[in-house]
Chain A
């Protein structure tokens, strides 16, 4: 991947990135902000140059650079392909020659035939061997390139800023890494070999045919394109039918998703029949348009076969006429016939391959777009590794917004002493999570700085900063695997006792014990059958196990009943004694005990203080508090 950049004209990009790194190396702790800004604008330009460079040619060059590593295999494969094509075309000629020696009773040249048969045997064995080796080479190239590309893509994924990831649909990225790479491999790599052998075959066949007999060759050359055109014509006609089919199918699929996902509700209201009727109506429509689409598209094969047969008949008649006049031997004519049979095949293949190639290029473009996405600024080598943070957190003149047009946090100042509890409150969607994004350095501030224990967090390694916080988010995330592995996420070497202790502290032990396999129960991605509350308890246990020096809780207990929550809070409190914590909460009972309350509205911090002072102020907090307890 490194080598590739040189080739595809991204030198400029590489340069600018190099400069960026150079700058950050030179930065002293304090004045890094301006440089950072500059780098941001550099990046913007990179993106533009990348877009223009992501042309079809650019993509091909990049693909080639991935294949560079395997260039010996590629060369070998190409040579073998040429050999295979040449030999495969040669065998029918030999066969024809042999036939020509079978002139009739008592008129057979056995010595000649034996010689030809030996040649055929040798050619066949060599062809087979070459084909086998070629197949293996192609496999190796394809799957290794696929692997390399996937790894590069994944590597980039791990480094992409959240700014990018938050703005892009996950499904889209996943399909780039998985499906697009596969389509690319099938289409471009396999397609390329097909195209290569196809063109060689056509060229070779043409050559042999023209060399043997020009008039008969012309018959073949004139009729074959008909099948080509016919296939095209049908494909164009069926396009709209296929579109109608996929639209109807999409409609049906969304009904299936809706009703199957909420089937319990369907049952609760005894709506089965109504829904089935709705489904039936769509099903009938789908049946009708599917039949059309499938039938018309399946005509392609018979039609091309028909044209093929016509070519065959044409060669048969015309060839026979020529043969009578002595223009061609019977053996050569039979060779011609077998060519006529094969000749159209690569044509049909190539027409398929061309669309596949285009598709593959588009897929490759999408992957490379991801691979070349600008990664987060790497940690500078001088960055401090934060160990045993005391918990002094200071936000100084912090400005931040996700998009420049919509100002969010402006000139925000906050000083948190070790051990203090900071609560962030406000109505939903007011940007509470933004503060966490900044603290965890998921996003960088636009200006100002955040310091932990006196150091700007941009001068601390991301890993050590983030592991200093224990974070529990409202959106629970569990991975496919055992309960134990999920709890051990932050500390894979933890013993069973440690895991259990953490689970007990999170009040998750009792429900885990009741699962079929206890801690070894395998859960599917996203927790499967666990309730939202149980998932949250697991996420808390995960943090309890690591005992980080600071804590971030984003509505961490929203799905847990208040009584359990209270117990967990106690556990948290015990664990957090003397440690700094940030809590996004909606329950005022939690908030009241905080040392500092940040009241947010529309992305801004509008009030700041403790419970008593804020109530006394009689501002937004006071009205929020009163509205909740007016029940």
Chain B
């Protein structure tokens, strides 16, 4: 929470004024029993109607002043809380957007969305409540005690005895139940999880005929939940009765000592009434305080989680570790992987192991391999999304870690596996690739990506609406637009990560031809599971379990690479005779 306080800095004035006005209101409230006492002792005892009228007016004006003060306090509190959360939300969003790929993997999407939304809302209402009430309740509690001292020191001692007792009960019970409520929440999460699983997996559950076992599991979960709820309930049920007993016990004591003192003449009837009123005020405020503390604790927990995200730091670029200049006389290749290995954070094994190859400018490189063989990992190393754990990736002889991130990214155009577009228009999506792209440039990219019919088929053409995630387009349409998005910036390196999977064969063939026209200008990396998609590449990298098991043209690999032969044979069984795979 401390770390988040700086976002409150711009609202210093509000943060100070809100509790101050609240204090004012509380102060006025504390005067009320005194006025009532004097009404009794002077007004009624002396039969002074005028005095009573004045005191009544005083009560009413206290109410008005209290209203003004508290409305002012509410305003400042709301302003500070809302402003604070807006600043925090922006800061958190900016921070999340700046995280590198490793951290994105680590933090998890759904977690971050929760942090951005519900957690910050909780923090906001926490701040709001604290500003409004956190001073008020203690001030009334202690203020009432102090006022009691001004009325009568001896009786006030009863307050000093009752107060710690009350505090002990209220806070003791809260301290006891708070962790138990976490257990309740966990139980509820379990119930929710089971329900959701049984819906999303209904076919599998019924296929395995697990209905009864699922019900049994669910019954156990609800039983546990009810048990923990009832247990917590039992403890919190103690709070109200016990505080009630303490406060009324104190009132009895007040009346008793009061009786003695009235008899002696050191205390008046009205003063006893005032003391009793102060005691009642304390009870009301303590209950409020307890509720407040629960909300604040929740808010603090959320604040900690938010702060946790803000603390995530991107790894420092460790540049130039293996800065070996190339042997003299040899020109640096366009792109070079020099004994590159990659292990993801928190992963058990290497995703890529000792990858070595070079690519010349303008070449087309196909990458093929099985599920989880490391194809995507490999291409993500090129724009430096992940740093190589070992070895070096070099662009024109320069370690890519020495190239500024922005520059490196602007050189590459990537079409990710998941074809996602963003809410907006076709134009706004293409501007992702190049913010200042002209219409001609856009249409050129659209043509290359075989997406002209998609764009022209939509009302509005370039300004056609795209729904969130591009849901109003088919998979194939989306894929073509994501290709256009990458092409519009005319990248030096174009990376297509299995980006034609949703295209039919005819469209894919046309796309292939279009890509071939880029030959010599643009270096293209083509990831695919289909041998047919990459067989025309200048060279093909064959990956298997993170290792490079083949490098060459289609013809070469068909002769030398067992894995490639197997992949090919699995897709073209009719040619099996020609390329008999070795049994592995």
- Cβ B96 vs Cβ A260 within 8 A: yes
* Mask of A525-566 contacts with B, CB within 8 angstroms, 1/0: 110010111100101000000100000000000011111111
Q: Which of A24-32, A148-156, A389-397 lies at the binding interface?
A: A148-156
- Cβ B273 vs Cβ A98 within 8 A: no
- Cβ B230 vs Cβ A158 within 8 A: no
Least CB distance, B79 to chain A, in whole angstroms: 6
Q: Is B71 interfacial (CB 8 A cutoff)? A: yes
Q: Which of A6-14, A128-136, A352-360 lies at the binding interface?
A: A128-136
Residues of B within 8 A of A299 (CB): 71, 74
For the complex, give the distance between the alpha carbons of A310 and B57 in Å. 10
Residues of B within 8 A of A531 (CB): 371-372
Given the contacts A337-B36, A565-B570, A102 and B262 also touching, CB distance less than 8 Å: yes
* Mask of B427-460 contacts with A, CB within 8 angstroms, 1/0: 0000011010000000000000000000000000
Least CB distance, A81 to chain B, in whole angstroms: 13
- Cβ A121 vs Cβ B252 within 8 A: yes
* Mask of B415-430 contacts with A, CB within 8 angstroms, 1/0: 0101010110000000
For the complex, give the distance between the alpha carbons of A299 and B109 in Å. 38
Q: Is B90 interfacial (CB 8 A cutoff)? A: yes
**CB-CB nearest in chain A for B371:** A533
Q: Is A225 interfacial (CB 8 A cutoff)? A: no
Residues of B within 8 A of A627 (CB): 504-506
Which B residues between 69 and 100 are near A, CB-CB below 8 angstroms?
A: 70-71, 74-75, 77-79, 81-83, 85-86, 89-90, 93-94, 96-100
Which A residues between 502 and 520 are near B, CB-CB below 8 angstroms?
A: 510-511, 514-516
Which B residues between 553 and 571 are near A, CB-CB below 8 angstroms?
A: 563, 566-567, 569-571
- Cβ B218 vs Cβ A268 within 8 A: no
**CB-CB nearest in chain B for A476:** B204
Given the contacts A108-B263, A309-B63, A564 and B383 also touching, CB distance less than 8 Å: no
- Cβ A563 vs Cβ B563 within 8 A: yes
Q: Which of A50-58, A271-279, A572-580 lies at the binding interface?
A: A271-279
- Cβ B567 vs Cβ A268 within 8 A: no
* Mask of A231-260 contacts with B, CB within 8 angstroms, 1/0: 000000000000000000000011111111
Which A residues between 301 and 330 are near B, CB-CB below 8 angstroms?
A: 301-303, 305-306, 309-310, 312-314, 316-317, 320-321, 323-324, 330
Q: Is A44 interfacial (CB 8 A cutoff)? A: no
Least CB distance, A610 to chain B, in whole angstroms: 16
- Cβ A563 vs Cβ B273 within 8 A: no
Our pick among B32, B230, B272 for the contact of A312 (Cβ within 8 Å) is: B32
- Cβ B206 vs Cβ A561 within 8 A: no
Q: Is B244 interfacial (CB 8 A cutoff)? A: yes
Given the contacts A287-B86, A462-B209, A525 and B117 also touching, CB distance less than 8 Å: no
Which B residues between 233 and 291 are near A, CB-CB below 8 angstroms?
A: 233-234, 236-238, 240-242, 244-245, 248-249, 251-252, 255-256, 258-260, 262-265, 268-270, 272-273, 276-277, 280
For the complex, give the distance between the alpha carbons of A264 and B414 in Å. 11
Residues of A within 8 A of B223 (CB): 147
Q: Is A262 interfacial (CB 8 A cutoff)? A: yes
- Cβ A302 vs Cβ B67 within 8 A: yes
Which B residues between 12 and 67 are near A, CB-CB below 8 angstroms?
A: 25, 32, 35-36, 39-40, 43-44, 47, 49, 52-53, 55-56, 59-60, 62-64, 66-67
- Cβ B199 vs Cβ A170 within 8 A: yes
- Cβ B567 vs Cβ A139 within 8 A: no
Q: Is A571 interfacial (CB 8 A cutoff)? A: no
Q: Is B186 interfacial (CB 8 A cutoff)? A: no
Q: Which of B172-180, B190-198, B292-300, B331-339 lies at the binding interface?
A: B190-198
Residues of A within 8 A of B570 (CB): 562-563, 565-566, 589
- Cβ B259 vs Cβ A102 within 8 A: yes
Interface size class on chain A is 35 or more
- Cβ B70 vs Cβ A316 within 8 A: no
- Cβ A276 vs Cβ B259 within 8 A: no
**CB-CB nearest in chain B for A266:** B97
For the complex, give the distance between the alpha carbons of A522 and B188 in Å. 20
Q: Is A404 interfacial (CB 8 A cutoff)? A: no
For the complex, give the distance between the alpha carbons of A546 and B59 in Å. 81
For the complex, give the distance between the alpha carbons of A219 and B206 in Å. 68
- Cβ B195 vs Cβ A562 within 8 A: no
Residues of B within 8 A of A253 (CB): 113, 117
Given the contacts A174-B192, A330-B273, A260 and B371 also touching, CB distance less than 8 Å: no
Which A residues between 263 and 309 are near B, CB-CB below 8 angstroms?
A: 263-272, 274-276, 279-280, 283-284, 286-287, 290-291, 294-295, 298-299, 301-303, 305-306, 309
- Cβ A154 vs Cβ B255 within 8 A: no
**CB-CB nearest in chain A for B217:** A154
Q: Is B469 interfacial (CB 8 A cutoff)? A: yes
Q: Which of A68-76, A206-214, A452-460, A463-471 lies at the binding interface?
A: A463-471
Given the contacts A99-B273, A162-B202, A316-B59, A110 and B566 also touching, CB distance less than 8 Å: no
* Mask of B135-150 contacts with A, CB within 8 angstroms, 1/0: 0000000000000000
Q: Is B326 interfacial (CB 8 A cutoff)? A: no
Least CB distance, B54 to chain A, in whole angstroms: 10
Q: Is A103 interfacial (CB 8 A cutoff)? A: yes
Least CB distance, A398 to chain B, in whole angstroms: 20
Given the contacts A264-B104, A562-B570, A128 and B245 also touching, CB distance less than 8 Å: yes
- Cβ A279 vs Cβ B93 within 8 A: yes
Given the contacts A105-B262, A515-B348, A272 and B98 also touching, CB distance less than 8 Å: yes
Residues of A within 8 A of B240 (CB): 131, 135
For the complex, give the distance between the alpha carbons of A269 and B420 in Å. 13
Which B residues between 196 and 222 are near A, CB-CB below 8 angstroms?
A: 196-215, 218-219, 222
Least CB distance, A498 to chain B, in whole angstroms: 15
Our pick among B200, B214, B237, B409 for the contact of A158 (Cβ within 8 Å) is: B214
Least CB distance, A529 to chain B, in whole angstroms: 8
For the complex, give the distance between the alpha carbons of A274 and B128 in Å. 31
Least CB distance, B422 to chain A, in whole angstroms: 6
Residues of B within 8 A of A382 (CB): none
Q: Is A489 interfacial (CB 8 A cutoff)? A: yes
Our pick among A165, A302, A490, A562 for the contact of B71 (Cβ within 8 Å) is: A302
Residues of B within 8 A of A467 (CB): 207-209
- Cβ B97 vs Cβ A158 within 8 A: no
Residues of A within 8 A of B370 (CB): 560-561, 563-564
- Cβ B258 vs Cβ A102 within 8 A: yes
Our pick among A101, A139, A170 for the contact of B237 (Cβ within 8 Å) is: A139
Least CB distance, A303 to chain B, in whole angstroms: 7
Residues of B within 8 A of A617 (CB): none
**CB-CB nearest in chain A for B573:** A589
For the complex, give the distance between the alpha carbons of A490 and B75 in Å. 60
Least CB distance, A100 to chain B, in whole angstroms: 8
Q: Is A350 interfacial (CB 8 A cutoff)? A: no
For the complex, give the distance between the alpha carbons of A301 and B263 in Å. 42
Given the contacts A178-B191, A295-B74, A566-B566, A477 and B204 also touching, CB distance less than 8 Å: yes
Least CB distance, B520 to chain A, in whole angstroms: 24
Q: Is B229 interfacial (CB 8 A cutoff)? A: yes
For the complex, give the distance between the alpha carbons of A107 and B55 in Å. 27
- Cβ B237 vs Cβ A135 within 8 A: yes
- Cβ A338 vs Cβ B207 within 8 A: no
Q: Is A407 interfacial (CB 8 A cutoff)? A: no
- Cβ A490 vs Cβ B573 within 8 A: no
Least CB distance, A280 to chain B, in whole angstroms: 6
Least CB distance, B218 to chain A, in whole angstroms: 5
Given the contacts A174-B196, A563-B570, A105 and B269 also touching, CB distance less than 8 Å: no
Q: Is A91 interfacial (CB 8 A cutoff)? A: yes
* Leading 7 A-B pairs by shortest Cβ distance: A533-B371, A317-B56, A309-B63, A135-B237, A105-B265, A139-B233, A313-B59
If A263-B96, A469-B207, A526-B200 are given as contacts, then 9 extra A-B residue pairs at C-beta distance below 8 Å, sorted by A number, are: A117-B252, A136-B237, A256-B93, A260-B109, A283-B90, A298-B77, A337-B36, A525-B196, A531-B372
- Of the A-B pairs whose beta carbons lie under 8 Å apart in the complex, a sample of 16, sorted by A's number, is A91-B248, A117-B255, A131-B241, A140-B233, A267-B101, A267-B409, A279-B90, A295-B74, A321-B49, A334-B277, A466-B208, A477-B200, A477-B204, A525-B193, A539-B204, A630-B505
